[in-house]
């Protein structure tokens, strides 16, 4: 069994850096014509260099997911260039917050506008194209915060929980058109958004203690899931959220298994 994505056309938003960049590079390396969008022009220029050096197919656009006029221009340009659009990955996101008592309206709005409204606007723009094709894959970045939120994360968690419900509603609306809509919930993947792996050692240990697989996630873990969800192998999966978190809080205190394993390993003959 093999994943074959060659010749498909994908847009990945917020793909100038971080997980989105890795998703875009992985799709492109699988033969997908990959359109990379972001607000950061310098990061897009670096992506272009890597595409050119690797011989990847696709293009790059400066596009703010809050700007519907610009989104429509980008989608029209993609259709003019490539004639179709098979995959939309709504990866663009922001984090940040504060306890509600001191949370600014600006921070609340930014989380809602980029994470939730941006997902809606991008989806809205590609729906007519995918409906005409009678096929398509929309894959949205939710977060583990949609399941268990963190202190001070009300705006982020509410936006990502919104993405989860938006995904289910849209899956229902687009089922008759053979378009699937899913989202994924990364747990803790060190990026410039969170700097997990650069925090003080005891802080890192506290976070790792929540994981069944007691190590940080990698951007590739998400990119591989996206490849699967975008492929024909996932044609019967829609309206769901897949947790890619190394089993974060799958049990109440995952750390206990590691403490027990450490003492058992001394007496255990492999």
Ligand X SMILES: NC(=O)c1ccc[n+]([C@@H]2O[C@H](COP(=O)([O-])OP(=O)(O)OC[C@H]3O[C@@H](n4cnc5c(N)ncnc54)[C@H](O)[C@@H]3O)[C@@H](O)[C@H]2O)c1
Residue from 91, 123, 167, 238 in contact with ligand X (CB under 6 A): 91
Stretch that binds ligand X, among 16-24, 120-128, 131-139, 255-263 (CB under 6 A): 16-24
Q: How far is the CB of 211 from ligand X (least distance, A)?
A: 12
Question: Strand 87-90 to strand 179-186: parallel, antiparallel, or no bridges (unpaired)?
Answer: unpaired
Which residue's CB is nearer to ligand X, number 91 or number 107?
91
Report the residue from 14, 97, 153, 254 that binds ligand X according to the rule CB under 6 A: 14
Should residue 39 be labelled a site residue for ligand X when binding is judged by CB under 6 A? Answer: yes
* Active-site choice (56, 61, 156, 184): 156
- The answer to whether 164 touches 238, Cβ cutoff 8 Å, is no
CA-CA-CA-CA dihedral for 21, 27, 29, 33, to nearest 10? -100
Per-residue string for binding with ligand X, 193-222, x by CB under 6 A? xx----------------------------
66 lines the binding site for ligand X (CB under 6 A): yes
Task: State yes or no: is 236 an active-site residue.
Answer: no
- Residue-by-residue DSSP string for 119-183: HHHHHHHHHHHHHHHT-EEEEEE--GGGTS--TT-HHHHHHHHHHHHHHHHHHHHHGGGTEEEEE
> Strand (E) positions, the chain?
9-12, 33-38, 58-62, 87-90, 136-141, 179-186, 241-244
Decide whether 40 or 104 has the Cβ nearer to ligand X.
40
Q: Decide whether 114 or 174 has the Cβ nearer to ligand X.
A: 114
Q: Give 204's contacts (C-beta < 8 A, 6+ positions apart).
A: 196, 197
Question: Of these, 4, 40, 77, 251, which contacts ligand X (CB under 6 A)?
Answer: 40
Question: Looking only at residues 118 through 157 of this chain, which bind ligand X when binding is defined by CB under 6 A?
Answer: 118, 141, 143-144
In angstroms, what CA-CA distances link 23 with 52, 114, 120?
17, 19, 20
d(CA 225, CA 62): 26
Write down the residue that tokens 């963190």 correspond to. 150
Residues that contact ligand X, how many (by CB under 6 A): 31
Told to check if 114 binds ligand X by CB under 6 A, we report yes
Q: Taking the alpha carbons of 122, 49, 227, 111 in that order, is the dihedral positive or negative?
A: negative
Q: Considering only 1-9, 78-86, 174-182, 190-198, which stretch makes contact with ligand X by CB under 6 A?
A: 190-198
Catalytic residues: 156
Query: By the criterion CB under 6 A, which residues form the site for ligand X?
Result: 13-14, 16-20, 38-40, 43, 64-66, 91-95, 114, 118, 141, 143-144, 186, 188-189, 191-194
């Amino acid at each position: 069994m093999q994943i074959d994505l060659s010749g498909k056309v994908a847009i990945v938003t917020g793909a100038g850096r971080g997980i989105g960049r890795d998703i875009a590079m992985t799709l492109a390396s699988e033969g997908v014509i990959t359109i990379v969008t972001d607000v950061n022009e310098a990061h897009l220029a670096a992506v272009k260099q890597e595409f050119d050096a690797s011989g990847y197919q696709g293009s790059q656009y400066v596009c703010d997911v809050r700007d519907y006029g610009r989104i429509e221009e980008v989608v029209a340009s993609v259709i003019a260039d490539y004639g179709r659009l098979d995959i939309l990955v709504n990866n663009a996101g922001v984090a940040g917050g504060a306890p509600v008592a001191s949370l600014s309206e600006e921070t609340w709005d930014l989380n809602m506008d980029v994470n939730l409204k941006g997902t809606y606007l991008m989806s809205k723009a590609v729906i007519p194209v995918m409906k005409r094709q009678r096929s398509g894959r929309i894959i949205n970045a939710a977060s583990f915060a949609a399941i268990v939120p963190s202190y001070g994360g009300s705006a982020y968690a509410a936006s990502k929980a919104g993405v989860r419900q938006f995904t289910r509603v849209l899956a229902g609306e687009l089922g008759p058109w053979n378009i699937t809509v899913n989202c994924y919930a990364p747990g803790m993947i060190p990026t410039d958004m969170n700097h997990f792996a650069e925090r003080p050692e005891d802080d890192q240990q506290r976070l790792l203690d929540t994981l069944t697989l007691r190590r940080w996630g990698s951007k590739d873990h998400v990119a591989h899931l996206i490849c699967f969800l975008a492929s024909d192998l996932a044609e019967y999966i829609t309206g769901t959220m897949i947790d890619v978190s190394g089993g974060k809080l799958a049990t109440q205190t995952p750390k206990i298994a590691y403490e027990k394993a450490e003492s058992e390993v001394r007496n255990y003959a492999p």
